[in-house]
Chains A and B, each alone.
Chain A
């Protein structure tokens, strides 16, 4: 089984400089939510990363890919919200962020359970650096993560062989889309920027999420 974290790590070793640049962009509050994927297309070194966008080897591979992203999301909210209080956000937002956190935690637990029950080895949580420095930056990263999550599930779903697992993935991606809609809104962005989601392949998701994984 391919270790997605290892892929991330090996990519990151070569991408340090761009990582720093990207994180700088994020912490400045820029919204990669809507524009990130487009901007990435213009960046160099896509050829090398394309090699990592191979089709998934099997359903377990897809599940661990999903788990990698859910780990990242859950850690983001768990650790981030521990450093903020409701007063750091406008009314009601903090409570909804708690709910989002709990959803991601449930997704992590569920995916671990499913992977294990299928005889696979769930990927472990990594060490992350999300690069935000205040509540506004936290919200911007949250929107980026959720929008990327939707695109990742949409891009991977066709690789799923099992009907049951496809159904399960469908029930998760819709909730990610609900999160993304809300987080766009609280960032002052259009909650539903297009009539269709943008599916992203593994390489594109790696480009966006990889820089957050530092160890």
Chain B
């Protein structure tokens, strides 16, 4: 099984330069900067991202591989909301002009992401696979405003990731349908978070599918290390 977290961490160090510009392309630049992700402290030795991208763009090694890709992102999202909502209260939200309803909706999104994690772990296990674990993250937000901005980025990237990866489940109707039922909910989150950030909830008639390489470029910088310490080569 491919280890996405290790891939991510290894690549991020080499690919900072291109990652930054790609992220700009993906997100439109401003939001990620506002969200603090661009403030990630990254080493800066430019390297050939292309080779890695091609490798990542290849077909997944079976449905478990696809599901672990999804789980990698869901871990990231779930951790983001759990941590952020532990840190911020409804009062903190109202302090920046966000309603108590929006705080409730964040709690709901958190619950969705946790459910996605639990479900994917269960499905991967039932398929005889080894679910990837959560990693250590640094989401780079410093206050409610940047937290909400990062949330927007994560949900839009997540939607694009599912849109791009669903095709790799075409041979398994049940898993494809299951993935799409998550996909739609990520899109709902993204729509709401766009709106909350003062942007158009549905910026185009068609969603932009993201390749694993593009997702890596956008989300990879948020992953700062595997957890627990690696070295065993065991599936993470």
Contacts A175-B205, A177-B185, A197-B185 hold; do A185 and B192 have CB atoms under 8 A apart?
Answer: yes
- Nearest CB on A from B169, distance (A): 9
- A215 interfacial contact with B, CB 8 Å: no
- Nearest CB on A from B66, distance (A): 13
A-facing residues in B85-130 (Cβ within 8 Å): 105, 108-109, 111-112, 115-116, 119
CA distance A150 to B209 in the complex (A): 17
Most buried by B among A107, A110, A176, A194: A194
Interface of B is mostly: helix
Which residue of B is nearest A106, CB measured?
B205
Q: State which of B116, B192, B202 has its C-beta within 8 Å of the C-beta of A195.
A: B116
Size of the B side of the interface (Cβ < 8 Å), in residues, is: 43
Residues in B neighbouring A107, C-beta threshold 8 A: 205
- Nearest CB on B from A126, distance (A): 22
- Nearest CB on B from A103, distance (A): 4
- B1 interfacial contact with A, CB 8 Å: no
- B189 interfacial contact with A, CB 8 Å: yes
* Contact in complex: B195, A174 (CB < 8 Å): no
Interface of A is mostly: helix
- B30 interfacial contact with A, CB 8 Å: no
Q: State which of B108, B163, B181, B189 has its C-beta within 8 Å of the C-beta of A170.
A: B163
- A167 interfacial contact with B, CB 8 Å: yes
Residues in A neighbouring B185, C-beta threshold 8 A: 177, 192, 194-197
Given A168-B206, A196-B181: 12 more A-B contacts, CB < 8 Å: A103-B204, A154-B177, A158-B174, A166-B170, A167-B164, A170-B163, A171-B207, A172-B207, A173-B180, A175-B205, A179-B191, A192-B185
Q: List the interface of chain A (C-beta within 8 A of B).
A: 96, 99-100, 102-103, 106-107, 110, 150, 153-155, 157-158, 160, 163, 166-168, 170-182, 185, 190-192, 194-199
